[in-house]
Amino acid sequence: MKKIKKGAVVFIGAANPETIRMIGAIQRSQPDFSVAGFLDNDLEKKNTDFFGYPVFGGMECVSELVKREVVFVNLITGNLHARYAISLEIARAGGVFTNFIHPNVDLTMTTVGLGNYIQESTIIQAGVSIGNNSSIHMATLIGHESAIGNSVFIAHGVSVSGCCYIGDGTFIGTNSTILPRISIGKWATIGAGTVVTKDVPDYSVVVGNPGRVIKVNEQLFFDGEILSEQR
């Protein structure tokens, strides 16, 4: 690897060109925002570049990058189990996480952890808390005083009403609606377009309008925390 600037960002997953546009937007507002490159377990991408940024290789590169004092952001969203497992592996190797948040997102009067990826035009209202290693995509609304857990994925166009709780590892599909004061358990799956009108148990899969439980996910993980071993 060539010389890498201390504090530069390494992204996990060289796939979505929107990442590059977000980098540009952040650099226009924060000129010192530095990107080292990408990691990707696809062997065909190793030692190539992604829109001008190097793809170092896969997870075998983490230890060397940790020594160079970079920071990490996980962009994986298609498989939340993989997202969590990879972020946990980086954390156990001593990796430090940072947030990747579009500069037009207002975070005033909110609490946000580390390793979060939040796309543009997301509205996060006052009193919201977001854990670590979560991903929230464009044009989503998170209503006031809601709590989003760790390793959560919220797809674009989702509406989470006020005073809701979203448990660790939950997947919420495109254009879903969560009514006020609803609690969604850990590692639940909410299908695209679902309207959630009542609390959702842990590991449940919910679809439809009104949402109904159709099956239960395999219980692979207890929670979605990645930083507990670094405390």
Question: Which residues are known to be catalytic?
Answer: 144
Q: Could you tell me how many residues make up the chain?
A: 231
Encoded tokens for 133: 């290693």
Task: Please answer whether residues 114 and 40 qualify as being in contact, where contact means their C-beta atoms are separated by less than 8 angstroms.
Answer: no
Q: How distant, in Å, are the alpha carbons of 36, 101, 200, 224 from that of 82?
A: 23, 21, 23, 11
Please, what's the b/e burial string for 4-30 (b: 16 or more CB within 10 A of its CB; e: otherwise)?
Answer: beeebbbbbbbbeeebeebbeebeeee
DSSP state letter for 3: -
Give the bridge partners for 200, in sequence order. Answer: 184
Torsion sign, CA atoms 148, 124, 139, 98: negative
Q: What is the distance between the alpha carbons of residues 148 and 168, in angstroms, rounded to a whole number?
A: 8
Per the DSSP assignment, residues forming a β-bridge with 196 are 178
